[in-house]
Amino acid sequence: MGEFVRLDVEAGVGTIRLDKPPVNALNNQVQAELGEAAREATDRDDVRAVILYGGEKTFAGGADIKEMAARSYVEMQPFATALSASLTALAEIPKPTVAAITGYALGGGLELALTADRRIAGDNVKVGQPEIQLGIIPGAGGTQRLARLIGPSKAKDLVYTGRFVRADEALALGIVDEVVAPDDVYATAHRWAAQFVNGPAVALKAAKAAIDGGLDTDLRNGLRLETSLFVGLWATEDQRTGMQSFIENGPGKATFTGR
């Protein structure tokens, strides 16, 4: 457990909780602790799905600008590399992940949310990539994950202007997947994550690897990846259990072990 980031686990759902008032700024320590939490969530067998959460008021307001402004070019290189690596570790958690977004997700905060498989936001949320207003660009996935999520034209509009986007527009653009009342954000994210606790963990891992890996390559190689992962599931107990249950009882009634 870090000073500002912790992994809380209950009934198979892990919550990676940021707690650095007032806005969960992603300074050097926070980004390092995010990476540690991601690795712990990856390694723990009792974690079957993960929620990224910044608390009731703010998801994450972005990088610590005062800390960044004081750095030289030479000093920024290792920081930026480590920040990108930490967020990539979150994106590569081989389990279903969901960001529960409250208040603001700006700059590095939106980049953090983009590492999740799904994003649920309060109806009062604002998101954006305002780095251009500082004379820089997003440096922790904002130009890459956002463009892959909503397309290059829409991503360029947001990155070029640095404007803030309200929840309704974020939903229309596809930045977030569901908008709920602010008080319902975490509970809604938890319901989504909890449905996977007793699911076929190896198949879920394969599904995520196939989709994410396919986006990084061309269709032909993506299909090869899919075939390899698909066939590999015949080495699992869950495949045998799931198919036998279907034959005997119909769909949706299998009890999986995650092996």
The catalytically annotated residue of 111, 169, 178, 248 is 111
Residue 208 φ then ψ, to 5°: -65, -45
Q: How far apart are CA 23 and CA 210, in angstroms?
A: 35
The answer to whether 111 is a known catalytic residue is yes
The answer to whether 3 is a known catalytic residue is no
- DSSP assigned state of 130: G
Across the strands, what pairs with 18?
5
The catalytically annotated residue of 3, 10, 56, 131 is 131
Tokens 């590999």, located at residue: 232
Cis peptide before 94 (omega within 30 of 0): no
Distances from the Cα of 194 to the Cα of 121, 163, 173, angstroms = 18, 34, 26
Q: How far apart are CA 200 and CA 241, in angstroms?
A: 10
Contact 196, 101 (CB under 8 A): no
Question: Which positions are catalytic?
Answer: 111, 131
